[in-house]
Amino acid sequence: MLGLASGLDAARYVGIRDAKIGAISEAPLQGRAVVDASGLAVAPGFIDLHSHGQTPENYRFNASDGVTTALEMELGVAPAPEWYRAREGQALANFGATSGHIPARIAVMHDSGKLLPRDFGE
């Protein structure tokens, strides 16, 4: 395993407690369940900085790929408070978004587009 921040490049044993990493060791660890991940990379999760799929279905797909945080950083959203309220307690992943120029322009210009401008906001 390669720990980019620490510079560590070595195989380790990982202990999980209460759904969080509880221990990282050079020696084998014992627990209620042991998973042999020999030859595999183990990661606590991945952050997707460019995730347009901010729906329950997409969160399920992301989770199956190991994505723990999905962020809408390109187009952004507007209005952000409503967007966050709609997902609160509903998502399988952590989520977030930027306050987007394009959705704000669509709203201000009363454009008929939903994702991209179609008429007045172009």
Query: What does the mean pLDDT of the chain come to?
Result: 86
Distance CA 13, CA 26 (A): 6
Model confidence at 108: pLDDT above 50: yes
Distance CA 81, CA 104 (A): 13
Share of the chain above pLDDT 90, in %: 34
Contact between 71 and 97 under an 8 Å Cβ cutoff? The reply is yes
pLDDT value of residue 2: 46
- In terms of DSSP bridges, do strands 2-3 and 8-9 run parallel, antiparallel, or are they unpaired? antiparallel
With 0-12 / 13-18 / 19 or more C-beta atoms within 10 angstroms meaning exposed / middle / buried, residue 92 is middle
Q: Does pTM surpass 0.75?
A: no
pLDDT-derived band at 8, boundaries 50, 70, 90:
confident
Top-confidence residue, 3 or 13? 13
Model confidence at 93: pLDDT above 90: no
Partners of 48 in the β-ladder:
70
Which amino acid, one-letter code, is at 39?
Answer: G
pLDDT value of residue 92: 86
